[in-house]
Structure 1
Amino acid sequence: MSDAYLQLDKLTLAYGDTVAVKDLDLSIAKGELVALLGPSGCGKTTTMRAIAGLLNPASGRINLDGAEITRVSANRRAVGLVFQSYALFPHLTVYENVAFGLRLKRLRGQDLDGKVNAGLKSVGLAKFSGRKPGELSGGQQQRVALARSMVMEPKVLLLDEPLSNLDARLRLEMRAELQRVQKETGVTMIFVTHDQAEALALADRIIVMLNGGIEQIGTPEDIYNKPVSSFVADFVGFENIFALKDGKLATPNGPVALSAAAPDDAAGLAWRPRAVILGSGPFQGTVRGTSFAGNSREYLLDSALGPIKAEVDAALPQHKLGSTIAFDLPVAVSASLKRFG
């Protein structure tokens, strides 16, 4: 990106002789909310640690706001970090936790009071300044950790799996809270997650990582609807994924022709369960599993193509276990994959 605020240039990161990230190039604009998404071991947390200054690169450069910070110490690079565990001091009050970093910068008196109180107000905790972390809910502790980082006025705020310790209801609340704080302050925010739903809900852009490299970069809509590889398709919920060979689906029982021509440049095709048409089509499947999912019903079919997962409206008549159903995989609603395997 031409307006890069944070730039990683050919960044290689290693633990001893083990290379975790190799030749990583990444540009992030000022004010973006970006997700590093991927499975455990893909390099996302290692990349975040390097940006924070907690890991020295084996090679490459990190530039922030026009200055190189590759070898700048963590406490001098204006990067905030919210840990997965929150890392609050249990013996200090909420006020003192938020004030901790500011005191190290020798802020005192009214200046300190003003910044701490403004920080607590920004995350809705102004009335909790005298409490200890153990007296707060998980979501409130997360907000304290967020306020503690934000009062330091970082150029970039990093969050390591920020919602993983919260229950489902609190995760939804904190998603909205993170978005609100980020949009109101304009801080550049990068969060690390293995949860694709979290990344899709929060981020302006998603960087999908695999084996220490970038597999795909795009908006949530791009990642969700237009995965470029079989890995990304599988990671974001495409459960019917096939390689193509000579324009036909490669299946355990040999190549199978489609009802329409596949794109010439496609290495594979993928369908979400919702895209599978049940009740008509050139293929046959036997119902081996069915489950009710509220507004929809999910089916697992055995077929000559291999296992097929389908989802239909729950209001439709139910197909019984062992019954045979015609189905189709319409090319028009498939994701065309540029890379397979």
Structure 2
Amino acid sequence: MSDQSYLSLEKLTLAYGDSVAVADLDLSVRRGELIALLGPSGCGKTTTMRAIAGLLPVKSGKVILDGEDMTRTAPNKRAVGLVFQSYALFPHLSVYENVAFGLRLKGMKGAELDAKVQSGIASVGLTKFADRKPAELSGGQQQRVALARSMVMEPKVLLLDEPLSNLDARLRLEMRTELQRVQRETGVTMIFVTHDQAEALSLADRIVVMKNGAIEQIGTPEDIYNRPTSSFVADFVGFENIFKLEGGALKTENGSVPLSFAPGSEAPSAAGLAWRPRMVTLGTGPFRGTVRGTSFAGHSREYLLDSALGPIKAEVDASEPVHVSGSDLSFDLPVHKAAHLSRIA
């Protein structure tokens, strides 16, 4: 089997009773790749991860890892590591013993066990904390223990369920760096589940955006962020001005509104167009809007406009003149800046 399909999910269908949670899902993960399963609650990302780990029976389809069909293999026989959102550390055991726990179950002992545990603890920078109990550690340190405990088992795939959600903003940034470092140094294939787009964009080699138990789009962070292919993905990554496109006009609740195009250019063939708030030009353009709300966001100022197109969200540099509520002003939606969508929900 090639590295292109080190882990393959083939027509995977997963259900809870009679309720199908994931249907006919196909996904190939390369050896050493760091993949994010991204999407809102209920989209099927955690369900998919549980099936890879063997914690959820497969209704139909296959889970193939490193050339072996693991679909019916017991969880403890899969060489798959799992780091839970809650860390699931043993509170009465030290860092050392938490990391050693799985190795002891495998029968490892003596100098071999000690060397393995010490190396695992050192890899996450916790050598000085080896004798401490989980309650004596910060959230970030506990997360590192959970990571080390999984890594010493030398998994072929490491799964992480919302790994940073229990940490504060500063610790999340630190742990992003830590996860990247461990993954790069060990080369382990890593899949993490998250609903946080910033986390997925900063960590992943590729992002799998999921919706209603299916894959909506797969791509690099740059692809997902700059080139969403559907209105769902566009909205999820911050394109807040999304319109259906028909015959060179934007379809709105109030009817069709023609777009202006540069001389010699043709209307896009896309099903829809989407603009981030910062892509909207204020103070000039063919459209008119009334300021209904404004908020200061440090380096920028955000506006909500009422217009013939419907609500428009705009963002400009905070140094620009302020438009007060009730102001009437022109604006533009530059077509050359828009994301071209092939699917509109």
Report the equivalent of 1:40: 41
Cα distance, 1:246 vs structure 2: 2.3
CA deviation profile, 1:195-223 (whole Å, cap 9, x unmatched): 11110010000000001100000000000
Question: Within 2, Cα distance between the matches of 1:45 and 1:262?
Answer: 40
Question: Within 2, Cα distance between the matches of 1:278 and 1:183?
Answer: 44
Corresponding position: 1:300 with 2:301: no
Report the equivalent of 2:223: 222
Report the equivalent of 1:18: 19
* Aligned amino acid, residue 154 of structure 1: P
CA deviation profile, 1:68-126 (whole Å, cap 9, x unmatched): 11111000000000000000000000100000000000100110100100000000001
Report the equivalent of 1:132: 133
Question: Within 2, Cα distance between the matches of 1:60 and 1:300?
Answer: 47
CA deviation profile, 1:244-269 (whole Å, cap 9, x unmatched): 122210112100000124311x1110
When the two structures are superposed, what TM-score results if normalisation uses the length of structure 2?
0.97
Question: Within 1, Cα distance between the matches of 2:145 and 2:97?
Answer: 10
Helix, strand or coil at the partner of 2:6: strand
Report the equivalent of 2:318: 314
* Aligned amino acid, residue 262 of structure 1: A
* Aligned amino acid, residue 71 of structure 1: R
Question: Within 2, Cα distance between the matches of 1:84 and 1:119?
Answer: 20
Question: Within 2, Cα distance between the matches of 1:295 and 1:130?
Answer: 45
Moved over 4 A (4+): none
Report the equivalent of 2:341: 337
Report the equivalent of 1:244: 245
Report the equivalent of 1:258: 259
Report the equivalent of 1:208: 209
Report the equivalent of 2:180: 179
Question: Within 2, Cα distance between the matches of 1:259 and 1:57?
Answer: 51
Unaligned runs of 5+ in 2: none
Report the equivalent of 1:275: 279
Between the aligned residues of both structures, percent identity stands at 77
Unaligned runs of 5+ in 1: none
* Aligned amino acid, residue 306 of structure 1: G
Residue 291 of structure 1, aligned match among 282, 292, 295? 295
Helix, strand or coil at the partner of 1:255: strand
* Aligned amino acid, residue 283 of structure 1: F
Report the equivalent of 1:49: 50
When the two structures are superposed, what TM-score results if normalisation uses the length of structure 1?
0.99
* Aligned amino acid, residue 298 of structure 2: G
Question: Within 2, Cα distance between the matches of 1:126 and 1:250?
Answer: 61
Cα distance, 1:294 vs structure 2: 1.1
Instruction: Count residues in correspondence.
Output: 340
Question: Within 2, Cα distance between the matches of 1:78 and 1:63?
Answer: 12
Question: Within 1, Cα distance between the matches of 2:71 and 2:268?
Answer: 43
CA deviation profile, 1:15-51 (whole Å, cap 9, x unmatched): 1100000000000000000000001111100000000
Question: Is residue 247–residue 267 contact of structure 2 (8 Å, CA) maintained in 1?
Answer: no
Question: Within 2, Cα distance between the matches of 1:81 and 1:50?
Answer: 12
* Aligned amino acid, residue 315 of structure 1: S
Cα distance, 1:2 vs structure 2: 6.9
Question: Within 2, Cα distance between the matches of 1:117 and 1:262?
Answer: 63
Question: Is residue 82–residue 158 contact of structure 2 (8 Å, CA) maintained in 1?
Answer: yes
